[in-house]
């Protein structure tokens, strides 16, 4: 599967009702972690965020929250934001709208947030409209780390992150088992890079609507 490391602003303007990045004039980066909470992996991420005093946003899968409520609570207690990533990681392009929306609703009973990220970044305009009517911000990204990609080395992911991170970037990472081996290599180095460059890392809010 091909995917662009960085989405150009020219492209994202076509889909301006989704959030692709924050303010380009602010030295702020929005780290996001998808597909948790996952034992050991999320703990690792939380510890490192704490060390750097960075805040992040965790797009949780409802089913994972159900299995690991204690880790979900740790995310909240540490002051990070959470977002809805559906109950069962549904792909809207392969799921009927009513079933999809119901899956978001199920997740919302466990995840108290009006931030929503569609799994695989796949959504359809009408579904997005329905969710916005319910008060959700649809959060996409401008930089994708590639940490989920088994054909890619950690060094390549890291290089991509450093090259493409800029003011207001929303970065996709994963606190999943699949990504863990890479995360352990990527995160310490990347966090150090962000600190060195003077970025502050903040959690997303419902008002990140600056795109
Ligand atoms: Zn996902």
The total number of residues shown for the chain amounts to 211
The pLDDT-based confidence of 209 (bands split at 50, 70, 90) is: very low
Domain assignment of residue 63, yes or no: yes
Domain assignment of residue 128, yes or no: yes
d(CA 29, CA 168): 5
**For position 190, what pLDDT does the model report?**
98
Distance 139 CA to ligand 1 centre (A): 12
Mark out the alpha helices in 109-170 (DSSP H runs).
125-133, 154-164
Domain assignment of residue 92, yes or no: yes
Domain assignment of residue 11, yes or no: no
Domain count, the chain: 1
Distance 99 CA to ligand 1 centre (A): 18
Distance 60 CA to ligand 1 centre (A): 8
Distance 88 CA to ligand 1 centre (A): 10
Domain assignment of residue 72, yes or no: yes
Distance 175 CA to ligand 1 centre (A): 10
Give 143-192 pLDDT, tens digit per residue.
999 999 999 999 999 999 999 999 999 999 999 999 999 999 999 999 99
CB contact at 8 A, 73 and 85: no
What are the Cα distances from residue 61, in Å, to 22, 142, 203?
24, 21, 18
Give 81-120 pLDDT, tens digit per residue.
999 999 999 999 999 999 999 999 999 999 999 999 999 9
Distance 153 CA to ligand 1 centre (A): 20
Q: Which domain CATH number covers 190? A: 3.20.20.370
- Residue 121 gets which letter from DSSP? G
The torsion of the CA quartet 32, 187, 161, 157, rounded to 10 degrees, works out to: -110
pLDDT at residue 140 above 80?
yes
CB contact at 8 A, 127 and 98: no
Domain assignment of residue 42, yes or no: yes
Within 10 angstroms of residue 50's Cβ, the number of other Cβ atoms is 12
Distance 138 CA to ligand 1 centre (A): 14
The pLDDT-based confidence of 211 (bands split at 50, 70, 90) is: very low
The pLDDT-based confidence of 8 (bands split at 50, 70, 90) is: confident
Distance 181 CA to ligand 1 centre (A): 17
Structural domain for 108, as ranges = 18-201
Give 33-86 pLDDT, tens digit per residue.
999 999 999 999 999 999 999 999 999 999 999 999 999 999 999 999 999 999
Distance 95 CA to ligand 1 centre (A): 15
Distance 17 CA to ligand 1 centre (A): 20
The pTM for the full model equals 0.94
Distance 89 CA to ligand 1 centre (A): 6
Distance 34 CA to ligand 1 centre (A): 5
Domain assignment of residue 208, yes or no: no
Domain assignment of residue 5, yes or no: no
d(CA 119, CA 85): 6
**For position 181, what pLDDT does the model report?**
96
Q: In sequence order, which residues have a C-beta less than 8 Å from that of residue 125 and are 6 or more positions away?
A: none
């Amino acid at each position: 599967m091909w995917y662009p490391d960085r989405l150009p602003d020219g492209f994202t303007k076509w889909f301006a009702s989704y959030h692709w990045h924050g303010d380009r004039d602010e030295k702020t980066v929005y780290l996001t972690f998808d597909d948790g909470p996952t034992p050991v992996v999320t703990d690792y991420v939380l510890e490192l965020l704490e060390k750097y005093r960075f805040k992040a946003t965790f797009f949780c899968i409802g089913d994972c929250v159900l299995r690991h409520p204690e880790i979900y609570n740790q995310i909240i207690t540490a002051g990070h934001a959470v977002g809805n990533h559906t109950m069962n990681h549904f792909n809207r392009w392969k799921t009927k709208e009513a079933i999809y929306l119901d899956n978001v609703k199920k997740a919302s009973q466990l995840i108290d947030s009006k931030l929503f990220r569609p799994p695989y970044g796949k959504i359809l305009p009408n579904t997005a409209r329905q969710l916005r009517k319910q008060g959700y911000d649809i959060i996409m990204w401008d930089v994708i780390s590639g940490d989920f990609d088994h054909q890619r080395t950690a060094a390549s992911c890291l290089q991509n992150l450093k090259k493409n991170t800029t003011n207001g970037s929303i970065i996709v990472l994963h606190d999943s088992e699949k990504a863990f081996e890479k995360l352990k290599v990527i995160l310490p180095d990347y966090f150090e890079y962000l600190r060195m460059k003077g970025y502050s890392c903040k959690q997303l809010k419902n008002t990140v609507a600056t795109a």
